[in-house]
Each structure stands twice: as C-alpha cells, then as structure tokens.
Amino acid sequence: MTGITAYVNGRFLPLGEAAVGIEDRGYQFGDGIYEVVRVYGGTPFKMREHLDRLRRSARAIELDLPDLDRLTEDALELLKRNGLRECSLYIQVTRGVCPRKHTVPRGIAPTVVMTAREVAGFPAEYRSRGVKLITVPDDRWARCYIKTTNLLPNVLARSKAERAGAYEAVFVRDGFVMECSSSNLFIVESGALVTPPLTNYILAGVTRATVIQLAEELGIEVREEAVSLERLYRSDEVFVTGTVTEIVPAVDIDGTTVGTGKPGPVFSLLYRGYTGLTAGAGDA
C-alpha cells in the first residue's frame, strides 16, 4: 500500500483501489484530455489558465466536461488528503466507458481521474550548467494544440532524447522548430526573446505565456516568429518551458554548442522572475 490517495469520478480512493473500466475510451482510443498543474505552497499555480485550456481541449474533441468548480474543490481536497504542498496535480478527463466503437458516443458520463505526486526535482546542474537537446522529425498529428492523452510520438521522442543523454527532444517540421515533447522552446538573439508562434502544431503552454509576460514586464523584447533549425543552432541562448520543467536552459543541441556553452543572462533573469512568481503563489 502506497498511502497515496487518488480521485476517480468524485471518489477518493487508495491508489491501488482506484480503477476505471477496461472499456474506457481513454484506455482504448486515447480519447481523452489532461492537464498537469504545479502546486506551490499548497496552491495550484495558474489553475484558471489550465482549466481554460482544458475547456479548449474539450471543445476541440467534442467532450462535455463536468463542473469545473467542483473539480477544483475536489483537487484541493485531494492535495489535503495526500498532505502535499509542493507537488504536481494530474487531471485527466476521458470520454467515458462504453462498448468499443469508433464514433463518438452520446450521453455517456466522462471519466475524471486526478492524482497528486511530489515533484522529484531536477538535479541542480540542469539549471546551473544547462542541458542537452536533440532534434527529431515532427511526426505528430496536426492538432497539437489539443492537450490529448494520445502522447505516443511524444513518448517515443522523449525516450530517444533520454537514450542520447539529452533532456528533451525538439520537434522539427519542414526545417522549422515547433516545441519539445513536453515543453515549449525559446531562443535568445541579441537580447531579444523569440519563440515559435502558436499554430496547430504547438501546445499553448501556460508556462510559455507566463514567461512571455514576465519578459515583457522586464523590458525584454519578445517576438513570436518561425524559428528555423539553423537559427536554433546559431542562437545566443536556448531554453525550454513547462509546468514541471519551469525554465531549463539548453547548452547543446544535436552536439552543437549553444552560445557560450553556459546558461545565459536572459535565462537567469527570467528564471529569477519565475521563481518570484511561484514563491508568491501560496500567498494568493
């Protein structure tokens, strides 16, 4: 027994007893959506933004969401029951359980599952020395703006990165970089922050938006424009952003050294600003 409490459709259960039916469409078709929310000091950070994105994902796959106010209350209860204040909260909503058929069934209740887990934390050198990235062909589908549980290409790309001793895999489509397997990508050129624009091939990261806003507040020029692979290699700084990742600088891409080979000043400034925001999250 792990002592971990999970949430399934309004019920709080020991993790080992938490289960969904084998005909759940999330299990059979990957017919579901999810969010990962970082909790700082017991308070979910950017919860509204995550729920907004959950709504957008639900709309995109024609899924009727349950009441999200109730879901938020239950999420807080889950954190309490697990005694967690620094953790990640996983929220998954699948289409529900019904006999297998491809068409979207009507009138079935979605399956809602939540778990909260302590965040393992990165080795300190990830941020002090920077990490490696590899690039991989973007072989995902054309609806990457939906945060779907269908993550097989991302799983394979991230595993390839891990085998190569890299932190993340950058998806490259027609010579242009999109995002990573579970994070967004930024480069710095002559002091300006550049990130690929939000298209159907990119997930609108909550951390991405936070970092853009932070940069603007700090007076850093921000441009959302297409970034070619050559431009990525030649940039002064590169970093990736994500809810659990926060901001992690990259110093090597496919064996090519980025900038000075050390995390740069724009990363440092933004990371300091970001930790300031998250440290205040528990005060809200």
Ligand X SMILES: Cc1ncc(COP(=O)(O)O)c(C=O)c1O
Which residues are the active-site residues? Answer: 147
Which one, of 147, 154, 179, 149, lies nearest residue 55 by Cα? 147
Return d(Cα 239, Cα 3) in angstroms, integer.
Answer: 36
Angle at 76 between CA 70 and CA 77, to 5 degrees: 85
Cβ proximity to ligand X: between 39 and 203 the closer is 203
- For ligand X, the closer of residues 93 and 97 by Cβ is 93
Cα–Cα distance between 172 and 229 in angstroms, integer?
A: 7
Site for ligand X in 35-64 (CB under 6 A): 36
CB count in 10 Å sphere of residue 73: 11
The amino acid occupying position 270 is L
Give the nearer residue to ligand X in terms of CB position, either 47 or 79: 47
Please identify which residue in 51, 161, 206, 270 interacts with ligand X, judged by CB under 6 A: 206
Give the pair of three-digit tokens for residue 42. 């017991």
Q: How far is the CB of 215 from ligand X (least distance, A)?
A: 15
Q: Least distance (Å) from ligand X to the CB of residue 80?
A: 23
| Of positions 183, 227, 238, 258, contacts ligand X by CB under 6 A | 183
Nearest to 185 by CA among 268, 253, 119: 253
Residue type, 167: Y
Q: Is 196 in the site for ligand X (CB under 6 A)?
A: no
Contact 35, 50 (CB under 8 A): yes
Q: Is 208 in the site for ligand X (CB under 6 A)?
A: yes
What's the min distance (Å) between Cβ of 1 and ligand X?
30
Is the separation of the CB atoms in 191 and 266 below 8 Å? Answer: yes
Stretches 2-10, 54-62, 182-190, 253-261: which one binds ligand X (CB under 6 A)? 182-190
Q: Which of 96, 243, 251, 267: binder of ligand X (CB under 6 A)? A: 243
The span from the CA of 262 to the CA of 38, in Å, is 27
Distance of CA 98 to the CA centre of its chain: 29
Taking CB under 6 A as the criterion, the residue among 112, 133, 203, 220 binding ligand X is 203
Q: Is 207 in the site for ligand X (CB under 6 A)?
A: yes
Q: Which of 184, 227, 250, 252 binds ligand X (CB under 6 A)?
A: 184
Kind of pairing between the strands at 111-118 and 131-137: unpaired
Site for ligand X in 1-40 (CB under 6 A): 36
Q: Which amino acid is at 209?
A: A
Q: At a CB cut-off of 8 Å and minimum separation 6, what does 4 contact?
A: 14, 15, 82, 115, 117
Nearer to ligand X, 134 or 206 (CB): 206
Q: Which stretch binds ligand X (CB under 6 A): 90-98, 157-165, 190-198, 241-249?
A: 241-249
Number of residues that bind ligand X (CB under 6 A): 14
The minimum distance between CB 163 and ligand X, in angstroms, equals 19
Query: Which residues bind to ligand X, rule: CB under 6 A?
Result: 36, 154, 179, 182-184, 203, 205-208, 241-243
